Structures are given as structure tokens and as C-alpha cells.
Amino acid sequence: MICPVVMAGGTGSRLWPLSRQLNPKQFLPLTDEDQTMLQATVSRLDGIAVANPVLICNEEHRFLAAEQMRAIGREQSRIILEPVGRNTAPAIALAAMVLQEAGDDPLMLVLAADHLIEDVAAFHQSIEQAIPLAEEGKLVTFGIVPVKAETGYGYIQQGAGFPAGGAAVKAFVEKPDEETARQYLESGDYLWNSGMFLFRASRYLDELKTYRPEIYDACKAALSDSSQDLHFSRVNAEAFAACPDESIDYAVMENTADAAVVPLEAGWSDIGSWSALWEVSSKDEQGNSVTGDVITEATNNTLVRADHRLVATLGVEDLVVIETKDAVLVAHKDKVQDVKKVVQAIKSDGRHEHMNHREVYRPWGVYDSVDHGARYQVKRITVKPGAKLSVQMHHHRAEHWIVVSGTAKVTNGEKSYLVTENQSTYIPVGQVHALENPGVIDLELIEVQSGSYLGEDDIVRFEDRYGRS
């Protein structure tokens, strides 16, 4: 049996302002209106015999990951939470160790949660070709058949071929300059490094222990003091933080004598920038890719995404225009790799637009920060049926709740009562309170906060069904 291991960490800052630190690109519907990148990654495995996937994600993304797996019927997926990012070698080691603790030693199909693969049948064929190699003890990587002289990817040089397909890895090569990339393309011996792998869990751990024992030992220590919370596996934060930060390529694949590569020609892209998204998107006769309420006049080869309002372009070409509720990006396609500089400037200025959107997802639903001032903030809150916010109190703010639709069960100090549509209630400063949706439809309400401090960290939780501290 194959066990998919999906790496869903990372922040995707080059796709700002759509991708944010608390809601990065793997959890967004970038290439499919119906599914996020993570959901598409798991769904494209339908048709081959695989177990429920193991996800590896950041602690702060745990509820996003769990909800998106539930939405596609994979709520039994196990989710390993990384307290800090330590690159791919430790992340994959944790997954391998968790699988072995369960008494299994499966073939691990390691996938990134934010890749696009257009030809699913070809993808399945490459996996089938890789299985015999992995069963023989090879550590197989999937090399993308290049379609251009790309300088943004690392390359894999193919060595001697195997009778059943695939080849030994002769060398891993860093991102080349343009002339070298052209030579790689012309030779036919080089493939793009996709960052996807297939190998036996025990084989990976054996090689990791041989070549990077410090990573192996740190992961072992972190997992030995782990805890299980619903489908979440939490490792010891201090032990994992001491783990070296290293990719699987540097730690294992460039050192092992058993590295193999299987070519993959399936319309692959890592969607690493806005220009990459434009390249794989459908376009009109002028080469424009538009999403949302968009008007284009005398516009060519441009990507426009309008999420919340009308966006019009006139007399421009080769641009990227991205509109969200709280930010707009206008960039030349040749400069989109530098979006990270904008994100860094936002951080340096002490702003928060890099962290999250106006709409913030929680395990119980979502809230939208509609307006705010020096001593007030207005939110639109949606609570899912049967969901409940934590029992909590605030030291610095009072709250006024007005129900727009549905029914709220309110705990206000010692009292508990229902508030229905067009009714309201008031929560004083320092009052222990809770909000619950006992109905079968979404509860929608307007919350007006007032006080001297309105930060999200002014929450003292006494009880929480989602395990938040």
C-alpha cells in the first residue's frame, strides 16, 4: 500500500496579496474554482490504491487543513503539526516515524500541497513506473520533462537507465544561468527537480540516519514526547526546534547511492509566482487571464484577479493586477519574483497585511473585520451549525452582538439564553462568555467591540473544544 505524505507547510509569500502567512497558497483555490491546491493534490490520487494521506503542516494552519480534508471526505487523514519550520528532510522523517510507530512500513509518496498537475493519467503512470524501483529499495524522485530553458528550478541529471524504466540519478544540479539551462534542455539528459518522491519509509530513515544522524535523532526525540489531539499529532517543540534546517535533497538524495528518477510529463507547475499562474491559466484572444469582475480595454498578456470589486485595465500589457479586500498589487510580470520584497516592507513597517486577510478562518467558522477605529472594531461573524467559540473573557473590551440570521446560544456570566434574528445582547468587560450555534443553518451576527485595546491576544480561554490554549 502507498501512503501519500503531503507537505502543506510554507507561506507562499510570492503570491501575496492573495497568499498570506495564516492562509497561504496551498489552502487557496488558485487553479480550480472548486478545490484548493491541497484538496486538488489529494483528489488527484483517486484511481490508485492509496491509504488516507498524512499531512504535515504548521501549527497555525491545523484547522484549515483539517476542514479542507473533511470537505473532500478525507477527515480520517492524520495531520502532523510542525511547531517551527525545519525544511523537508525533518518533515518527511516525522511522517516516516509516525507511520512506523503505527506498525507500518509503507511506500511513502511524498507530494507538495501546492503543485499543479494537469494530466492526472500521466501522473498515475509515472507513479506505477516508480513503484517497482521503490520496492527494490531505491529512493525515487520524479523529474519533470523540461519544456523550456528554465532558470528557476534545480535540475536532475539522468544516469544509466533501468530495464523497467526510470534511471539512476547521476547528479543534482543547482538552478542554472540561462545559457546553462539551454544546454541542459538541448542535451535531453536533464529533468526539472519536482520535489516529489516515492520510497519505503524504512529506507528513507536508514539513509537519513547514515548521512544526517543529527536530524534523525532530533526528530526521534521530538516524536518520543508527542501527543495526539483528535487527528493532530503534536511533537515536542523544543526538541524539534533543535533539529537542523535542511532539505531532503541536501540531507539524503545527493548522498545516497540508491537515488533514482522517473520522468514525469504531466503539465506540472509549482505555481511559484503570479507569472507562473498566468502561464497555466486559460486566456482570451489578447492573452489576458481574468478572474472576477474585470473589464479590460487595450490590455494584453495580463493577469487580473478581482475578488471583491470591479477592476478595470486600460492600455497596459504584461502586468499582474491582484485585488483583495485590504490590498491591491500591480506588478510587471518580469518583476513578480520580487513580491517577497513588498511583503518584507510590510513586515518592517509593522503592518499586518502579510499575516491574514480581512476574512479570518477559525475552526468554528469565519469572521470579517468590517471596520475599525481607535477604540472600536466591527466584525461580521459566521458560526457553523453545531459549532461553539471558546468560553473566554477580555480584560480591555466589551462586545455587542446583533444576530442577523440564525439563532445564537449565549453564555453571559451565570446566564445562558437564546438570541434570535434582529435581537442583540451585550457582553461587559471582564465577563466570562461564550457563543454557540445550536441550529442547523449558519449563525450570522455583527459584533461591535469597544475598549482601550482590541487585539486578538486579549483573550483568556477557560474552555475550548478545539484544543486552543
pLDDT given at position 467: 78
CATH class, range 359-463:
mainly beta
pLDDT given at position 330: 98
Provide the Cα torsion 7, 8, 12, 15; round to 10°. 110
Q: What is the mean pLDDT of the chain?
A: 95
pLDDT given at position 33: 85
- Cβ contacts of 68 within 8 Å, gap of 6 or more: 27, 36, 38, 39
Provide the Cα torsion 453, 457, 462, 466; round to 10°. 140
Do 1 and 107 form a contact (C-beta atoms < 8 A)?
yes
- Cβ contacts of 389 within 8 Å, gap of 6 or more: 362, 364, 383, 434, 435, 436
pLDDT given at position 445: 98
Phi, psi of 405 (to 5 degrees): -155, 155
Q: Which of 265, 262, 264, 259 is nearest to 170 (CA)?
A: 259
pLDDT given at position 335: 96
pLDDT given at position 120: 97
Helix (H, G, I), strand (E, B) or coil at 399: strand
CATH architecture of 2-269: Alpha-Beta Complex (3.90)
50 DSSP assignment: B
For residue 392, the surrounding DSSP H or E stretch is: strand 391-393
pLDDT tens string 118-154: 999 999 999 999 999 999 999 999 999 999 998 889 9
pLDDT given at position 440: 97
pLDDT given at position 284: 97
144 DSSP assignment: E
For residue 279, the surrounding DSSP H or E stretch is: helix 274-280
The segments of the chain whose pLDDT lies below 50 read none
Q: Which of 101, 130, 133 is nearest to 205 (CA)?
A: 101
**What does the alpha-carbon distance between residue 218 and residue 239 come to, in Å, rounded to a whole number?**
6
Q: What is the pTM of this model?
A: 0.89
Q: Where are the domains of the chain?
A: 2-269, 282-348, 359-463
pLDDT given at position 456: 87
